[in-house]
């Protein structure tokens, strides 16, 4: 007789419900990211900013006042896409970012926002501030709920990161 089989209950309705909620949350995270890009795109179109796409704008927002290497963009969570080199090159060409080769490692390039890039970052920051105010004013979210959401998402992030580092 398999002792483990007698100790573990069969998949329960609770497990199935959790799985359904988990999959729904995964889809929601994906949809929210796409919606965030659409929100930025709509704001830029409204303001006549057409040379920068939403992914590039979010990249500049996340970099802020920091000076980073292309490799650090992903490790610090500033950039989620796969074509970081293209976007950096484009932003440099358009005058939004400054790049400089490292004196120590000539393969490494450090990037930072130019004044033009900081102005665009401020546009995104104002957009996000307006949204935050709207969420509070309309009673959609309060500080406590936002903190709960953030804590839960950080736990999922930590779990996934641990799975990548230690399990696979």
- pLDDT digits over 14-54, tens only? 788 899 999 999 999 999 999 999 999 999 999 999 999 99
Whether 9 is in a domain gets the answer no
Whether 17 is in a domain gets the answer no
| Number of structural domains in the chain | 1
Q: Rounded to whole angstroms, how far apart are CA atoms 41 and 99?
A: 25
* Domain containing residue 72: 22-162
What own/partner pairs with CB < 8 Å and gap ≥ 24 does 87-90 have? Answer: 87/55, 87/56, 87/59, 88/59, 90/56
Mention every residue, 6+ apart, whose C-beta is less than 8 A from residue 15. none
Whether 72 is in a domain gets the answer yes
SS3 159: helix
User: CATH no. for residue 28?
Assistant: 1.10.10.10
Whether 8 is in a domain gets the answer no
- Other C-beta atoms closer than 10 Å to the C-beta of 162 total 10
pLDDT tens readout for residues 98-133:
988 777 776 778 899 999 999 999 999 999 999 999
Whether 87 is in a domain gets the answer yes
Q: Is the pTM of this model over 0.75?
A: yes
């Amino acid at each position: 007789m398999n002792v483990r089989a007698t100790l573990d209950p069969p998949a329960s309705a609770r497990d199935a419900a959790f799985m359904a909620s988990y999959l729904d949350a995964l889809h929601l995270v994906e949809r929210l990211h796409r919606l965030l890009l659409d929100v930025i795109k709509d704001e830029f179109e409204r303001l006549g900013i057409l040379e920068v796409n939403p992914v590039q704008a979010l990249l500049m927002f996340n970099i802020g006042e920091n000076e980073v290497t292309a490799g650090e963009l992903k490790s610090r969570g500033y950039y989620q896409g796969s074509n970081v080199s293209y976007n950096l090159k484009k932003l440099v060409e358009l005058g939004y970012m400054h790049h400089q080769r490292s004196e120590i490692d000539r393969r490494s390039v450090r990037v930072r926002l130019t004044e033009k890039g900081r102005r665009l970052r401020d546009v995104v920051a104002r957009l996000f501030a307006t949204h935050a105010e709207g969420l509070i004013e309309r009673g959609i979210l309060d500080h406590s709920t936002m903190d709960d959401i953030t804590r839960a998402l950080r736990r999922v992030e930590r779990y996934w990161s641990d799975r990548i580092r230690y399990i696979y």
